[in-house]
Chains A and B, each alone.
Chain A
Amino acid sequence: MKKSNNLMKDIKKNKDCYLMLMPFMVFFIVFTVLPVFMSVPIGFTDFNMVQPPEFVGLSNYVNLFLSDKIFIKSVRVTIIFALITGPLSYALCFLIAWLINEMPEKLRAIFTLIFYMPSLANVYTVWKIIFSGDMNGWLNSFLIDWGVINSPVQWLTDSRYILGVTVIVQLWISLGAGFLALSAGFRSIDRTLYESAYIEGMQNRFQELVYIVIPSMKPQMMFAAVMQIVNSFTAGTIAQNLVGFPSTDYKAHTIMTHAYDYGWVRYEMGYASAICTVLFIIMFFCNKLINKLLKD
């Protein structure tokens, strides 16, 4: 009883704090927290947005894992996609940010702008023309002109190339917020650290990286990792624009696209919620895992 009294007092004393938090928290709870947690109860129902939801127990999940072959495929595509684009684009962000930092001030600003440009706006529509499957596609027409191939290749619809094409485009736009965070991290490293390390016998840039840079940039690296996870799990949306929906043979069909299919196209919200729940859980644990890896 006394404890709760104290808590009430504490809350009253900090009334202003809560007042100032409120506007943000109201929107945050309604549009971020609620959507994430709501997917769990709705996932147990059959809900088409017109009739009230009907409780169906675990049947959505049973269907998902046991009879929905396309879902299993989409999990595989998502994991392959995340495993390729995640580490690759993270390494790319790190490498480019590091090299740019070695340049003089003026060049840094220009290079940062160049590498960040693709993520500024949705300019990836041009890739549709580059990879277009007829003779008018840029890639095809050059390859034909140079005699490398005889007839146009269906880059966007041939199931052999879809994954490769989407990975390239994804890498192209992957130098986003994470890249900026890493650039800032490099810039914040105390230059005198290098100086003393060289006096103590450090030989080259690679040693700099291992002994100075990585230890002092852990926090920014964590932030960049979170951004990279979000990017690689939502990559499906870009693929959807490029290779069409559904893609040939479901080669670029990610969990996101699968949820979109059921939520948006078929209005089976219960099933879509179950898919989202699975996605949210995978992302959460992926984040946990990467935090662990970076901490040690």
Chain B
Amino acid sequence: MGYIKTRSQKSGSVFIFIFLITAGIFMLIPIYLTVVMAIKPVEEIFLFPPEIYTFHPTLDNFRDMFEVMNNSRVSFWRYIFNSLTVTLSVTVLQCAFSSMAAFVLAKCRFPADKLINGIIVVALLYQSNVIYIMQYLIMSKMGIIDNPLALIFPSVASPMSLFLMRQSISQVPDSVIEAAKMDGAGLFRICWQIVVPNQKPALMTVVIFAFQSSWNMHSDSFIFQEQFKTLPTVVNQVAASGLARAGTAMAASVFMLIPPAIVFMFAQKYIIETMVYSGIK
């Protein structure tokens, strides 16, 4: 990269590495414990002092998890299906709606555009976990409480997704859009055929955040019927039953962690690329 490394910097790198490793271990300890508890046989959970490793790894806890949940009125697969449906709908709708809105807000001048841009920046503060009580009131007026729509609708228009998409689309040169207009393409076509296909990093970022928030969404505030509940709610119910069930609860935690971790591993590069433009000016 042609940038001069002074001596102080080179020796510093070792210290930084050691510091990061130490801090990283602290971050990982709880996750490590989660995994160990998940593969520990039940009789080892009550050892004193507890062992931080196990010689008899087993998948019993995972099997128990499926069994415990299968014993409820609906099968475990139903919860997975619910979670997947909510996650997929939220992710797809978020991508579609925020791409269009972001394109218009970044590239078109029309009455009230500045106002809307300003509102979006303030709205970053008021995410679902801040306003869910008020959202409940609105949804009960709409009559969609206890309906899967109650899990999907509030997350469809995410100010954060719109904001990130808008920042990224602003980087597209105006000349590209002007040229397309000359060729007679309408706004809708320019958006979907020229701009959005080149926004892979930003789209991936929206996908990650949408996936993560909806996969982890608790349904207990808005859903009461067993057949519409999502995984995190059920996992919480299992986790609430004390130490004897700890192994099962931890197995469920591991189960919940794996999908977003995989998605994140593949998408990390794109996220960092998008976040470069995340700045608020």
Contacts and interface: CB of A to CB of B under 8 A. Distances in A.
Interface in B255-281: 256-257, 260-261, 264-265, 268-269, 271-276, 278-281
Interface of B: 1-4, 6, 8-9, 12-13, 16-17, 19-20, 23-24, 27-28, 30-31, 33-34, 37, 45-46, 48-50, 96-98, 100-101, 103-105, 108, 110-111, 116, 119, 122-127, 129-131, 133-138, 140, 153-154, 156-157, 159-160, 162, 186-188, 191, 209, 212, 215-216, 221, 232, 235-236, 239, 243, 246, 249-250, 253, 256-257, 260-261, 264-265, 268-269, 271-276, 278-281
Nearest to B191: A20
B240 to A, nearest CB: 9
Contact of B37 (A28, A114, A126, A183): A126
A4 B260 CA distance: 51
B157 A16 contact: no
Interface stretch (A62-70, A71-79, A158-166, A184-192): A184-192
A260 to B, nearest CB: 7
Given A184-B275, A185-B275, A283-B125, A263 B257 contact: no
B137 A130 contact: no
Nearest to A263: B133
A20 B140 contact: no
30 contacts: A16-B186, A17-B104, A18-B110, A31-B154, A31-B157, A96-B23, A102-B13, A117-B27, A117-B261, A121-B215, A122-B253, A126-B37, A127-B30, A129-B250, A144-B49, A145-B49, A181-B278, A183-B272, A191-B1, A191-B3, A205-B8, A218-B279, A227-B124, A230-B124, A230-B127, A259-B133, A263-B133, A264-B221, A276-B134, A279-B130
A38 interface: yes
B260 A121 contact: yes
A269 interface: yes
A122 B232 contact: yes
A144 B50 CA distance: 12
Contacts of A214: none
Given A129-B37, A256-B130, 14 more contacts: A24-B162, A25-B157, A102-B13, A113-B268, A114-B28, A115-B23, A120-B212, A122-B232, A127-B30, A195-B3, A222-B280, A226-B280, A276-B133, A276-B134
A18 to B, nearest CB: 7
A145 B47 CA distance: 12
A34 B135 CA distance: 8
Given A121-B216, A130-B33, A195 B278 contact: no
Given A20-B104, A100-B20, A234-B129, A130 B30 contact: yes
Interface in A193-223: 194-195, 198-199, 203-205, 218-220, 222-223
